A and B are shown apart, each in its own frame.
Chain A
Amino acid sequence: MRLDIVTPERQLFSAEVTSVRLPGMEGDMTVMENHAATVTTLRPGIVTVVGGDSAGEFVVTGGFAEISTDGASILAERAMPRADANADILQGVLAEAKAAVEIAESGEASAAARMRVNDVTELMKLVG
């Protein structure tokens, strides 16, 4: 199936792959060919691409994925190959997430913001 990873600034990745694992907002999910059409938001985490020469891992800081039967596209605000990611880059994202917790008004928003802080912290541990 076709997988595209695009950021606002450029197209980061586009190739035929066997499957891809996404950090969905409601849990990780693996997408293969003929997956039901789905739109899901992503939490900060790692996208794992399996299959062919294009296998690899990407770090995303949130965004969403559009999955159709013949492919998937990941629209991430910030995405990079895992090798390029480090804790310093994510520090800014973490600070932003923490600020969001401060200003969150409703209980729902603050829970979502706190979850984001958790996700980013986890991700920072993963990329080291």
Chain B
Amino acid sequence: MPSLKDLKIRIESVKSTRKITKAMQMVAAAKLRRAEENAQAARPYADRMNAVLSNLAKGAKDSPSAPKLLTGTGQEKTYLLIVATAERGLCGGFNSSIVKLARTEANKLQSEGKTVKIITVGKKGREQLRRDKADLLVGHVDLSEVKQVGYDNAHGIAMDVLSRFAAEEFDVCKIYFNTFKSVISQIPTAVQLIPATFDTVEGGDDKGTLYDYEPEEEAILADLLPRSIATQIFTALLENAASEQGARMSAMDNATRNAGEMIDKLTIQYNRSRQAAITSELIEIISGAEAL
């Protein structure tokens, strides 16, 4: 049975933990709003890019001289997985869920006899993957100095991936990240970057506007595909940033609530043992008086 003083110290320490988690929750909420706005602002560019490219790709897919970024290298032996996670923890299952998805796919690919290479973005994913996939890690992108992901960060990653592709280090490239659905729901997602795939544009463009291309289609395609990869990576990073804050917010909300429950329990225990002490003291006095 802990003494009254011990209990009091416990209660105080849980109270300050609650203050910290509450503060972290509010910081995450503020950051989440910004991250969501950023993701929203980036959408028009990504959508247009996708629309134009899917239009172009439809025509070029069968051409023998189509860029390799679109058609692939003709084989599927080596996979490059980009695993994008957060730089910091304390955000619930955010990092683990991405790593889990990537790990499952890596295992599956390996059991099919493919070679897997992994590039990690963000410290947390690297830490988790180093445990059992250390020999597959071929690169790491550190974003810990970056307060807010910009297009330049994505551009840098894309350049690295493209130079590896040019050096024929891999055939297929996929990126793993969390899609932001809501504060309580982030969905681990995999998107294939190379060979390029495009969401079919819904409605509207079905009439298939005939565009003039300047310079000719293939030159444009060769120019746009690398940009589109950077854009897709950028979208992934933005989704990730929003998801991270959302996950942290709900994790910290839970932590705050748990701390509250704990304080209630400890307070009851504190009061009970205080009353027990008083009662036993009274009994001692009364029985002492009766003995006289």
The interface of chain A, by Cβ under 8 A from chain B, is: 4, 6-11, 24-26, 36-41, 63-64, 66, 68, 73, 75, 77-78
B227 x A77 contact (CB < 8 A) = yes
User: Given A6-B48, A9-B38, A77-B151 in contact, is the A68-B209 Cβ separation under 8 Å?
Assistant: yes
Q: Which residue of chain B has the shortest Cβ distance to A73 in the bound complex?
A: B48
The CA of A7 and the CA of B52, in the complex, are separated in Å by: 15
The CA of A26 and the CA of B49, in the complex, are separated in Å by: 21
B220 x A38 contact (CB < 8 A) = no
Q: Please classify how large the interface on chain B is, using the bins under 10, 10 to 19, 20 to 34, 35 or more.
A: 20 to 34
Apart from A25-B214, A26-B214, list 17 A-B contacts with CB within 8 A: A7-B151, A8-B230, A9-B38, A9-B42, A11-B44, A26-B215, A36-B212, A37-B212, A39-B52, A39-B220, A40-B214, A40-B215, A41-B220, A64-B52, A75-B52, A77-B151, A78-B151
Chain A contact residues: helix, strand, loop or mixed: strand
A25 CB to nearest chain B CB (Å): 6
Q: Which residue of chain A has the shortest Cβ distance to B56 in the bound complex?
A: A39
User: Given A64-B52, A64-B224 in contact, is the A7-B214 Cβ separation under 8 Å?
Assistant: no
B142: A residues at CB distance < 8 A: none
| Cβ 8 A contact of A64, one of B41, B210, B223, B234 | B223
B39 CB to nearest chain A CB (Å): 11
B151: A residues at CB distance < 8 A: 7-9, 77-78
Q: Which of B138-184 contact A (CB under 8 A)?
A: 150-151, 154-155
A75 x B214 contact (CB < 8 A) = no
Q: Which residue of chain A has the shortest Cβ distance to B220 in the bound complex?
A: A41
A100 CB to nearest chain B CB (Å): 10
Minimum-distance CB pairs A-B, first 3: A10-B41, A40-B214, A8-B151
The CA of A38 and the CA of B49, in the complex, are separated in Å by: 14
Q: Which of B13-50 contact A (CB under 8 A)?
A: 38, 41-42, 44-46, 48-49
B38 x A41 contact (CB < 8 A) = no
A6 x B45 contact (CB < 8 A) = yes
Interface string of B204-229 (1 = CB under 8 A from A): 00000111111100011001100100
